[in-house]
C-alpha cells in the first residue's frame, strides 16, 4: 500500500456493518460523493444494496470465498460505474 497523500476522487462507496436484532449483521453499500477532494467531506448520494449474514460468520471472517470475491467485485464495479457516469 502507498502512503496517504490526502487526495480523494469525487465519488466513492461506503461499506458499513449494522448489528440486527436477529443475531445477524447487515453489510450495506452506499454511494457517496466528495466535492472538495478532501478525505473528511463525504456526503451520502444513494443506497446501493445490502445483505445480511449470521453474526458468527462475520465476526469469525467465515464467509465462503465466493462471497468475499463477490463483495470486492461489487465494490470495484460500483466505483468504475461512478467513474464513468458521475
Per-residue pLDDT of 36-45, as tens digits, reads 878 888 999 9
Burial class (CB in 10 A: 0-12, 13-18, 19+), 73: exposed
Q: 86 or 4: which carries more pLDDT confidence?
A: 4
According to the model, what pLDDT value does residue 23 have? Answer: 95
Residue 67, H or E segment: helix 65-84
Residue carrying C-alpha cell 440486527: 20
How far, in Å, CA of 19 to CA of 26, rounded? 7
Phi, psi of 30 (to 5 degrees): -130, 140
How far, in Å, CA of 77 to CA of 80, rounded? 5
According to the model, what pLDDT value does residue 24 have? Answer: 97
pTM over cut 0.95: no
Report whether pLDDT(86) > 90. Answer: no
According to the model, what pLDDT value does residue 39 have? Answer: 81
Amino acid at each position: 500500500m502507498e502512503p496517504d497523500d490526502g487526495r480523494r476522487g469525487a465519488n466513492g462507496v461506503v461499506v458499513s456493518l449494522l448489528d440486527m436484532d436477529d443475531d445477524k449483521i447487515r453489510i450495506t453499500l452506499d454511494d457517496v460523493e466528495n466535492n472538495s477532494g478532501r478525505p473528511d467531506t463525504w456526503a451520502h448520494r444513494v443506497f446501493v444494496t445490502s445483505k445480511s449474514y449470521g453474526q458468527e460468520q462475520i465476526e469469525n471472517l467465515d464467509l465462503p470465498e465466493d462471497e468475499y470475491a463477490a463483495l470486492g467485485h461489487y465494490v470495484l464495479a460500483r466505483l468504475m460505474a461512478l467513474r464513468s457516469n458521475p
